[in-house]
Amino acid sequence: MRDARWIEIEIDLENAIGHFKKSITLFELGGFSEGGIQGYQAEMALMHAVQSGHTSLESSLLRILEMLDEERPAGRNWHADIIRRAATALPGRRPKILSNDLAKAVDETRRFRHRATHNYDSFEIADFTPTIKALHELVQKLRVEIALFKNSIDPD
């Protein structure tokens, strides 16, 4: 029997993947070195797309914890803590939600969101290499890993 709360989790997950895919497309379109409004638009669109993807992914992880009656991380480091928790098995309660490798990719989008939120004016596309790599990994593996976790705790 499937828990109906997976509906909202999967909506958030698909939103995250959609934003990450669009982030990749925006990166490939380029235009970051353009002067004026075109360069600004390219930078802002890319930063916002990654931020939106990570926020949707965080929402899905929080919903999973809520469904499992786990307390959400608290304190000023909760954004990093939720990723660490998702990559940690709780023996007797649940397996890992994310593999260590995928958790590293999620953490990269978290770090990018932090840099973008606090340093819009210092965005450098040359520094985006680790983030674009993480985005590709998330688009390819996130749906699969969450489905594996779902099937392990809530089989058909």
**Which two tokens mark 51?**
């931020």
User: What are the angstrom distances between the C-alpha of 133 and each of 11, 76, 81, 109?
Assistant: 24, 27, 22, 10
Q: pTM to 2 decimals?
A: 0.94
How many degrees, rounded to 5, is the angle at CA 60 between CA 111 and CA 132?
Answer: 35
CA distance 39 to 33: 6
DSSP string, 109-134: HHHHHHHHHH-GGG--GGGGHHHHHH
Q: How do the domains of the chain map onto residue ranges?
A: 6-153
Reading the chain (156 residues) residue by residue, the pLDDT tens digits are 578 899 999 999 999 999 999 999 999 999 998 889 999 999 999 999 999 999 999 999 999 999 999 999 999 999 999 999 999 999 999 999 999 999 999 999 999 988 888 776 778 888 899 999 999 999 999 999 999 999 999 887
What is the CATH topology of the domain spanning 6-153? Answer: Four Helix Bundle (Hemerythrin (Met), subunit A) (1.20.120)
Residue type for 149, please?
A: F
